[in-house]
Copies of this chain bind each other. A is one copy, B any other.
C-alpha cells in the first residue's frame, strides 16, 4: 500500500509517482539517499515496497539496500538502474535487492514487477481483494457487494475510500488502531491532532448506507476499527 520511491531525476520521479498514485498506492517520493534513510528509520511507517534508483546523491540505492538487510529488514526492494550499468545487476541482487529494472522502461513493466514482488510478500495490492460479501475491484475503483437479501451491486469509490477499505480488508476481523491507519495511508508530517481517519470513515459509511448496504466497518471504542466478516 505504501511505497517509498527514491529517485533524484525530477521528471522521472514525478512520472513514477503519478502512475503509482493512479494505481492507488500511497507514495513517499524523496530525492536523495539521506532523506530516504530518514523515512526508513521512522519506524512508525511500514512500507510495503521500496523503489531505489541506483545512482543517488548522498547514500546510493545500493547502500540503502545493504543497510536495510544488515538490519534484518525484509522490505522488498526494486532497484532502478541506467542502461550500461547492467553488469551491476549481480551486485544489486547480492546487496539484497529483490528485483531490478533497467532504465528507460515502460510504466507497465514497473507495475508488473511490483505485482511480481507481491507474490512473495503477502501485503501488496492484489487485483481483487475479497472478504465476506465484499470484494474490491481494483480496475474499476469500486466495491462489489453480494448481500443475500439484495441483488449484487457495485459501488464506485474514491481513491481514499478505496485505500481505507483495502487496508481494512487485508486484515479482516482484526482490530486496527486509527493511528495505524493514519500512518499507513496519510502523509507522515501530519499533526497528530487530525481526524482525517474519522472523517473518511464517515464518508465511507455514509456512501455505503446510501446504497442501503450495511456497513462492514465496526468501531471498537478506544481501540480502532475492524472489518467484520460475518460467519
Partner of A18, one of B11, B18, B105, B179: B179
Q: Give the distance in Å from the alpha carbon of A156 to the alpha carbon of B140 in the complex.
A: 30
Q: Tell whether, in the assembled complex, residue A43 and residue B104 are in contact, meaning their CB atoms are under 8 Å apart.
A: yes
Choose, from A56-64, A170-178, A193-201, the stretch at the interface. A170-178
Q: For A46, what are the chain B residues with a Cβ–Cβ distance below 8 Å?
A: 106-107
Q: Tell whether, in the assembled complex, residue A41 and residue B104 are in contact, meaning their CB atoms are under 8 Å apart.
A: yes
Known: A139-B175, A177-B22. A71 touches B104 (CB 8 A): yes
Q: For A174, what are the chain B residues with a Cβ–Cβ distance below 8 Å?
A: 139-140
Integer count of this chain's copies in the complex: 2
Which one of A40, A104, A174 has the greatest number of beta carbons of chain B within 10 Å? Answer: A104
Which chain B residue lies CB-closest to A179?
A: B18
Q: For A133, what are the chain B residues with a Cβ–Cβ distance below 8 Å?
A: none
Q: How far apart are A58's CB and chain B's nearest CB, in angstroms?
A: 16
Tell me the interface secondary structure of chain A in the complex: loop
Is A151 at the interface (CB under 8 A from chain B)? Answer: no
What is the total number of residues of chain A having a CB less than 8 Å from a CB of chain B?
37
Q: For A173, what are the chain B residues with a Cβ–Cβ distance below 8 Å?
A: 140
Is A95 at the interface (CB under 8 A from chain B)? Answer: no
Q: Give the distance in Å from the alpha carbon of A12 to the alpha carbon of B15 in the complex.
A: 33
Question: Contact flags (1/0) for A94-107 with B, using CB distance below 8 Å?
Answer: 00000000111111
Is A223 at the interface (CB under 8 A from chain B)? Answer: yes
Question: Contact flags (1/0) for A191-228 with B, using CB distance below 8 Å?
Answer: 00000000000000000000000000000111100000
Known: A22-B177, A179-B18. A222 touches B106 (CB 8 A): no
Q: Tell whether, in the assembled complex, residue A102 and residue B175 are in contact, meaning their CB atoms are under 8 Å apart.
A: no
Q: Give the distance in Å from the alpha carbon of A109 to the alpha carbon of B177 in the complex.
A: 19
- Within residues 45 to 89 of chain A, which ones have a CB less than 8 A from any CB in chain B? 46, 71-73
Is A158 at the interface (CB under 8 A from chain B)? Answer: yes
Q: Tell whether, in the assembled complex, residue B43 and residue A105 are in contact, meaning their CB atoms are under 8 Å apart.
A: yes
Q: Tell whether, in the assembled complex, residue A175 and residue B44 are in contact, meaning their CB atoms are under 8 Å apart.
A: no
Partner of A222, one of B44, B71, B158, B179: B158
Please provide the 5 A-B residue pairs with the shortest distance between their CB atoms, ordered closest to farther: A41-B104, A15-B44, A22-B177, A43-B107, A73-B106
Query: What are 11 A-B residue pairs whose CB atoms fall within 8 Å in the complex?
Result: A18-B179, A22-B179, A40-B104, A41-B104, A43-B105, A71-B104, A71-B106, A72-B109, A141-B220, A141-B223, A159-B223
